[in-house]
Amino acid sequence: MRWTLFAVLTTAVLSACSSSSSTPTPSHSASLRPLWQLKLPASAHPALSEGAYISQELNDRMTKVLGTVAVDTATQQVLWRRPYPSETGTTNAADITGNYSATHAGLLISYHYTDGLIVREPRTNIVRKTIPLPDEVVREDGTPSNIHELVTLGDLMILRMTRYLIAYDMDDLINPAQVQVTPVWQQTHEHEGPLRRSLDNVALDTTTGTLAYGLVEVNQAARTSRTTVRVLEARTGTLRWERRLQDSSTYAYPVGSVIGTGSGMVVANLDGTNRFQGFRQETGEPVWTSPPFTCPGGATTLYAFLDVHDSHVLAVPRGDHCFSSWNVQTGAQEWVFDAPVGHHASFVQHPLVLNGVVYASNNTFWAIDAASGTVLGHSGDLGDTQFVKGTPKYDARNNQILVWGQTLNAFRPVR
């Protein structure tokens, strides 16, 4: 089953778990109104490139993925459509998602799990170039993750796969004269006998050029499991430090982690622990451990994202209907936004932070003051804009925030 359709089906599974709220219900109703709406259901983490907003299109009943669609964010007109290969019999080169794509010099570079890296014109879908992955890399034959992401640092692009980190110079990727592109660096975590390895999400601090990720290792024969946070120099792939998050003889299954980095810190959450740990980015020195935290009335102890913005860590769980802010230097909780009664649904997406405002959508689009957690406004019910498919994206060309679900919606920033 395609992960895009899986995301559609799981929308009904992850749900609200509480009627309590630590955030007052806004006194006004639907204060954030769309600048425009386009009835065009979508199901994937969207990509914004050169004024083209791209996602996987659904039928009106949201029961079938039709293919890839691109919309002009200025005119709201469809730029192009490409059906899925089951309908066309062609290679599915049009699979594009925001978490596995980057824009460089006006071209969109996207990773596809069977074709490698594809360079295209985002506004026309004309493919300029396809770059196979290195011969020694075993192509991932499973579904691409909708949680973990490709990250960029200037002209450097770093791709996380299940057991590989591969860094490319994007100038090389878009150069038509270079058919084979040699990675700038590559990290490989191969299986060894009964020892199985996999990488968790990557996090990048573009200010310091620091890359952090989680490494999970399970020895099924010895019934041991360990989880490690590793920190690299992003430009070279050189290991700066690593620290064990857990090392147990009681687990014969992987214990994952979620990592964030920024403001001189690396923050980690070990699956199931519902607490966070802060380490010095430069040395790996432990600085703080938060007390256990669960959303008010909730039950989720698994986290999807830890996003560092200035002095704040935004912690987004994989369920319930809240997310929270923590001080990145001290680990002190700053505020919790628990969606009020009538708006209970999970977020499970990267919030957008713009001019001191946090924007997130759980079928309702919210604007929250980043410092205080005060609700600055919210929309009406947008319909199925939770999870990564509803990730808010800022369209700087048109000074609007885009949110896609049952409809494509545009909002003016509140600041």
- 163-196 pLDDT, tens digit each: 899 999 999 999 999 988 999 999 999 888 989 9
Tokens representing 142 are 């499973």
Place of tokens 């609700």: 375
Distance, C-alpha 52 to centroid of its chain: 19
**DSSP helix/strand/coil, 269:** strand
Q: Name 90's bridge partners.
A: none
Highest mean pLDDT of the ranges 248-252, 314-318, 337-341, 370-374: 370-374
Q: Where are the beta strands (DSSP E) in 161-275?
A: 164-169, 185-188, 195-205, 210-219, 224-233, 239-248, 257-262, 265-270
Side-chain-facing half-sphere of 44: CA atoms under 13 Å = 31
Q: Name 112's bridge partners.
A: 116
Q: What is the mean pLDDT of the chain?
A: 86
Set out the domains of the chain in order of their start, with CATH numbers. Answer: 1-7+34-149 (2.40.10.480), 189-338 (2.130.10.10), 340-415 (2.40.10)
Split at pLDDT 50, 70, 90, the class of 204 is very high
| Side chain identity at residue 260, one-letter code | G
Split at pLDDT 50, 70, 90, the class of 29 is low
Place of tokens 């079928």: 363
Tell me: pLDDT of 114 over 80.
no
DSSP state of 340: P
**DSSP helix/strand/coil, 351:** coil
Cα Rg for the chain, rounded, in angstroms?
21
- 230-270 pLDDT, tens digit each: 999 999 999 999 999 998 877 667 888 999 999 999 999 99
Q: pTM to 2 decimals?
A: 0.88
Report the pLDDT averaged over residues 198-204: 91
Q: pLDDT: is 286 or 14 the higher one?
A: 286
Which of 56-65, 115-124, 149-158 comes out lowest in average pLDDT? 56-65
CA–CA dist 26, 333 (Å, integer) = 22
Tokens representing 380 are 């009406």
| Side chain identity at residue 322, one-letter code | C
What CA–CA distances, in Å, run from 17 to 42, 268, 270, 371, 373? 26, 25, 22, 26, 21
Split at pLDDT 50, 70, 90, the class of 299 is confident
pLDDT at 354: 97
What CA–CA distances, in Å, run from 115 to 111, 223, 356, 404? 8, 36, 40, 26
